[in-house]
Each structure stands twice: as structure tokens, then as C-alpha cells.
Amino acid sequence: MTPAVDRLVVIGVGLIGGSFALDLKQNGLVREVIGVGRSASNLALAQSLGVVDRCSDQIASAVASADMVMLAVPVGSMHAALAEIAPVLPARCIVTDVGSTKQDVIAAARAALGDKIGQFVPGHPIAGAETSGAAAARVGLFAGKPLILTPLPETHPSRSNGSQRCGPLVVLM
């Protein structure tokens, strides 16, 4: 079986980003996961635990060959991360996030991504725990939990449910 995602880049390898990666790996949906973050020790732990296959402290170089990018950073850090990936974002790459608010994240994406905004599919998983960091990541965190995807009017049909003007989608994981 060919994985749905060849190369996933998780920016922010903690509870949510790490658990997302683990679930995709567990289900054979991704070939390679690259973890990006500020803390070398957290990234090393993520790799030793099998959450990611390799690590990078350079967002741009990791994203340059990505098929999918998961932004799992604080909402206040979204604009900086999006601005850093925008110049190297491959045309085939889907970008999503797990931010707890959508208006601020969408505004940051519009400002940072410019004409690449159609590659962005805002998301919000309704899952979590009181722990953080790569050590908190676990398989099954999203099991039976809703994931709300909120495609934008600009979202390319191949990156949503096929409708250019669809509203929020709720997916049970």
C-alpha cells in the first residue's frame, strides 16, 4: 500500500503534533516524518521514541520537499512559521494547523502565504491532555475525537472535500 503522505513535516513536535505523526505512522499513512522545533533535546527525544524519523531546526529546508505540513505551534507563533515556509512551499504541499483559534491563524496565513493561501486548510482537533512535549505524544489521542477542518474560499478543491465553497467539515478520527 502506498502511503497517502510521502513526507510530513511537523513543526512543533509535542502532544498534538507528535500524536498526529504517530497515528499516521501507525496506520501506514505516511512514509517519513520530519520533526522541526526549537528544542534540540525535545527533537532528539521525539526521534528516539519513533515519533519522527528525522529532525531539523531549519523550517525552510525541511518544508522544501514536504507533501504536508502540520503547524503545531502556539497561535502567536503561526505567522512567523508561515512566513518562513512560504518561499519554499512546494506547489503540491498541503499546510494545516492545530491552533485553538481560527480567525487569528487564518489572518496570519493570508498575510504570510499570499497567493499560496489555497494550499492552507485550517484545522482544529478536539483532543488533548495536560501534558506537553514529545514524551506526551501517543498513538490514539485522536481516536473517536472530532477534527474540524475549515477550508477557505481559496482552498483548492483537491485539498478539501472537492467543493470550492464548503463550510467547516467535522471528521471523526
pTM flag (> 0.85): yes
d(CA 27, CA 56): 24
d(CA 109, CA 160): 17
Q: Which of 36-50, 60-74, 87-101, 120-134 has the lowest mean pLDDT?
A: 120-134
pLDDT in tens, 31-72: 999 999 989 999 999 999 999 999 998 999 999 999 999 999
H or E stretch covering 35: strand 30-36
* CATH number, span 5-143: 3.40.50.720
Q: Nearest 5°: phi and psi at 78?
A: -60, -45
Please choose, from the candidates 62, 66, 33, the residue with its C-alpha nearest in 3D space to the C-alpha of residue 49: 33
